[in-house]
Amino acid sequence: HPLLPAAVVAAYLGMVSQGPKYMATRRPFELRAVSRCWNIGVAIFSICGATVCVPHLCRALYQNGLWYSVCADIYELAGYGPPAFWATLFTWSKLFELFDTVLLVLKKRPVITLHWFHHASVIGFAWAAWALNGLNSEDAACASVLLG
């Protein structure tokens, strides 16, 4: 649904704004093990997505050139197999990745502008690309490697 990312981003920005105020009179949570497991899980997920999408991107670049890999019809480009599956997982994962900000707030760590802006804008990009044309595996490959 097109309103889902907007609602999630609005709630997220509310949490970024109000969470530190809520935690101001509370002790920080000790979430070292949770943070470690979370970060390892995100890293494994990104590596798995990159191992599927990056070879697909390289093959498209080698066989058809840059124009095709950027401008071709999404269904021709990503297909219906593992690259399309991982591009879809990538889009949905952006919602779950907001959990790292929750961890920062609960540990009373600063949430810098770059952090929250990155999460909010990547959700907007990923969902808009998916809703309007379908997120292609090249988008997911680049984002998995660059944005993790």
pTM value is 0.78
Is 1 a catalytic site residue? no
Query: pLDDT band at 145, cuts 50/70/90?
Result: very low
| More reliable by pLDDT, 137 or 21 | 21
Candidate list 1, 56, 115, 118, residue with the active-site label:
118
Q: What is the mean pLDDT of the chain?
A: 85
Rg (CA), the chain: 17
Asked if 140 and 90 touch (Cβ cutoff 8 Å), the reply is yes
| pLDDT beyond 80 at 133 | no
Which candidate, 16, 15, 8, places its Cα nearest to that of 115? 16
Query: Residue 112 has what pLDDT?
Result: 97
